[in-house]
Amino acid sequence: MTEAYIYDACRTPRGKGRPDGSLHEVTSVALSARLLNAVKARNGLEGHVVEDVIWGNVTQVGEQGGCLARSAVLLSDLDERIPGLAINRFCASGMEAVNLAANQVKAGAGQAYIAGGVEMMGRVAMGSDGAAIAVDPSLAMKTYFVPQGISADIIATEYGFTREQADALAVESQRRAAEAWAENRFAKSIVPVRDQNGLVILDHDEFMRPQTTMESLGALKPSFKDMGEVMPGFDKVAMLKYPHLDHINHIHHAGNSSGIVDGAAAVLIGNKEFGIAHGLKPRARIRATAKIGTDPTIMLTGPVPVTEKILRDSGMSIRDIDLFEVNEAFAAVVLRFMQAFDVSPDKVNVNGGAMAFGHPLGATGAMIIGTVLDELERRDLSTGLATLCIASGMGAATIIERV
């Protein structure tokens, strides 16, 4: 089977997903098109040079609806003969776009793809597409649906994580993120966002709060306690599913959960012949990809079984992985991953994560693949694994290996 290589990985900075955020006036299609233009310019691509643009976005309604991928191609400087495919695997949409593209290349269905994703959470509200699992009683009752924040608190309760542990992880994420920016570790990947006049409107991740301390987090109220204990009483739903629990320990809040932000990311994937034809040097090969379904109520445990699956399928062990990117949707997700595999915190999210940067749903999966690649190169290491939990109970993972 043909190998699939990563030739480039880039992203926009993440903007605050609210009216005072720097990217609030930029539409989803415009941000996507600007990043596609960056991939074209960075790699000297001309003509019908890639087979397809596969683009993830989660809330596929309004300006993010109508096959956003194709719209972005048409707005960009790419050749109009390049089609576009919009996909949605919730929080792993950007990663699934990359994985799908890689597997298409491996199967011989085209020499190269641009894959990634976008989410403008400040412009298209999360949940505004009316997901059936949350709003259709016939499905919500069958699956014991609870909101993701409750799911995160169930994980904390089930696996014994305290608020202090979650807050400490959040403080460390902020510290690492600030250090990474201070040392310019993202320089290879960041594509500044410019306005119509060519002026830079955002060149850094603006959601970070490097002043965060245990004391400042300690002053925050749990975000999901009232919806769990009072109305609509989701704790009772959870305990119907998990009767061995006599309560839910609500430890998550705005400081130890991922932030609502805007952003986009892209990865250029191709076979060996594509690189030779265009004078490009591969940075890594995509060694393995995986996805899995999990319990839809606790919902966010996917990184553990999908990592077990991808390692098993590829004949690897956890010791073969040099660095991990585990999306920080909530602190308990990462705590559970490290607990399950006995992985050192020194190998996980070494430049911070979504608790510091925010989580632009459709883009994050592609972002963390680029992040782990950059860091493998910086440290002269070989192999990285990126993984995310996914709404409604799924997990996705990608293993890359430098070449």
Long-range contacts of 291-294 (CB under 8 A, 24+ apart): 291/89, 291/92, 291/96, 291/99, 291/394, 291/395, 291/396, 291/397, 292/394, 292/395, 292/396, 293/393, 293/394, 294/393, 294/394, 294/395
- What tokens does 248 get? 């839910």
Nearest-5° Cα angle at 106, 102 to 107: 120
Q: Which H/E stretch holds residue 246?
A: none
Q: Give the integer Cα–Cα distance in Å for 60 and 71.
A: 13
Q: Is 244 a catalytic residue?
A: no
Burial class (CB in 10 A: 0-12, 13-18, 19+), 397: buried
Q: Which of 250, 252, 253, 359 is catalytic?
A: 359
Type of residue numbered 17: G
Active site residue 67: no
Locate 257 and state its tokens.
């959960």
Q: Are strands 284-293 and 5-11 parallel, antiparallel or unpaired?
A: antiparallel
- Rg (C-alpha) for the chain, rounded Å, is 20
CA distance 160 to 155: 8
Residues 301/41, Cβ–Cβ less than 8 Å = no
Q: Respond yes or no: is residue 389 known to be catalytic.
A: yes
Helix (H) or strand (E) run with residue 244 in it: none
Q: Give the closest residue to 400 by CA, choosing from 363, 355, 370.
A: 370
Classify residue 170 as exposed, middle or buried by CB count within 10 Å of its CB (0-12, 13-18, 19+).
buried
Is residue 109 within 8 Å of 51, Cβ to Cβ? yes
Which residue among the candidates 10, 91, 250, 253 is catalytic per the annotation?
91
Q: Any idea which residues carry the catalytic annotation?
A: 91, 359, 389
